[in-house]
Structure 1
Amino acid sequence: MNHPELARRVIRLEIEELERLHQRIGTAFSEAIQMLQDCLAARGKLIVCGVGKSGNIGRKLAATLNSTGATTVCLDVGDALHGDLGVIDPGDLAILLSYSGETAELLGLLPHIKRLNLSTIAITGVCSSTLARHADCVLDVAVTKEACPLNLAPTASTTTMLVLCDALAMVLLEARGFQSSDFARLHPGGSLGRALLTRVSDVMRQGAQVALITPDTSVQEALQAMTRARSGAAIVQEPDGTLAGVFTHGDFVRAFQKDHAIAVHPVSQYMTPRPVSIQADKLAAEVLATLQTNRVDDIVVVDAEGRPVGLVDTQDLTRLRLV
């Protein structure tokens, strides 16, 4: 058996089903987002219910929604019929997941949800099913074939349902204007929390740790300043205090390879003008994004007037366990 080829076949089949889902996204999805927004704006919460594999995906959806500021309860269907319906309040919205739309336990819960006058969004692969007929909005996750060679084990269908749920959560996040600062408030633990709660001013090098020079400073003097600061970069500052550029050890190496007599030349000939910079009051998470986007090792930190006040080195982020 060619195991890698069999694995590629599974992945290819699931990609094809996701392409079909991609093409089906339309007005029903927009209606679902509006329903979710309206519920949360009215201080309601989202109730997610599913059984089996759909229940697993429902739990993941609930976790994602909660982590992005949308109050969500994952309600176990069995427990709901034995007292846990008390978690539901007027104005809540139910998201019901069942690929067949005929899951007996979920259909047994449906009359009680209707009695409580909840709006409902059904995520199902059968739009003619009982669940779909009784829902206010139906999101279609139908697949033509499972990735299982027997066409039995839920594979492509669960992937499609999972991806649609991710799309719901992420589009809702954008629609509600959820920001990185909001995300930080809900993720205080671990490296992610540290990166989101920490400001640039908390991690930047400053004072004697920063090599601060002028455009007229010689390369030799710049290297000496970098050595004293134990830094791989020097910030070049104009006489009026604004940022002129940055001179790094890499700039020196590249220039030295072309001209061994550069020591007495001013750094203005070799510095990087208008370097990547970030304001001191930004979140450290933005430093990570800036480093990755610009592929640099050092970022100059500036104040609101554009004057350099510090430097962030990638090594600092590693030491502080922010990466």
Structure 2
Amino acid sequence: MDIRQLKYFVAIVDAGSLSKAAQKLYIAQPSLSQQMAALEDELETQLLLRSARGVKPTTAGHALYQRARAILRQMEQLRADVREDGGSESGMVAVGLPTTIAAVLAVPLFEHVRKHFPGIRLQIFESMSGYISEMLPDGRLDLAILFRDSETHGMSVIPAFDEELYVFGHAGLKLRKTATTCPLSALAGVPLVTPGTVNNLRLLIERTFLREEVELHIVGDIDSLPALMAIAHGGSACTILPASAMLHRAENARPPMRRIVAPDMSRPASVCWSHALPVSAAALAVRKAMVGLIGQLHADGRWPGITLRPPPDAATLEDTSGSV
């Protein structure tokens, strides 16, 4: 087994396809297949499940994938440390941001890192929260913002803020046009479009309506923020989202927006990192920048609809759990 084989294996799992991985790696697919067959022979176990829809790792393959990601990241950091005289903030840092969070944080984070840490190459992955929560434990991300406020096995968190939720749109709502809030009871039977069933927001909506005994009427599962907002603006259904969803939309493209009350609906958000990868000096610098920027953007009025959590203590902010 060598570093090249690990790199090939990780590329295949990330791409979900031998042909796509071969194109990305600029090698012939038969050669890539031979390398994987040799790796499976050496480890005496099947690593990949092949089908007409692509490939995915076996249980053993998933374990190898996590370790291989960590090894490759360590090799990358080692090169960066040597080039930068050993230990300065440099190298690749991958950050996952839910779509509504990315709308506010992605550009300021990039600009801050570019200005203060020119040796860091930042990767920002924007997606729905359910997908990001899968990428972090797999080692594909160094950091992420996830909608949780407690640690789980193998994952550390810094609770950052609580995000208020709003109903966007007017379909089926019997409220005054000037109303700025919407009682949850007023959403009984109102046609709603929401993200799919694995999404954190969808689970929160279902649990809240069930707990308050309010009729939930979901008419579409839409895993696209622009589509959710367009549907709400068009008037065929409403949606439930945080205020940040509308920040970069033109005034004439913003549907009516009312904060949900009685009870309030909100969700916690935390800066998270997995113990599957070593915490490099670069990742630690980006983590601190994320925590600081969240507070600054809120103080400047550029992040409405959130309530900040108490700032973390120095020990938490410097936590390097996961380092090896």
Q: Do the two structures share a fold, i.e. TM-score over 0.5?
A: no
Bigger Cα Rg: 1
Q: Specify which structure has the higher proportion of helix.
A: 1
Structure with bigger RCO (C-alpha 8 Å, 6+ apart): 2
State the TM-score bracket (shorter-chain normalisation).
Answer: under 0.3
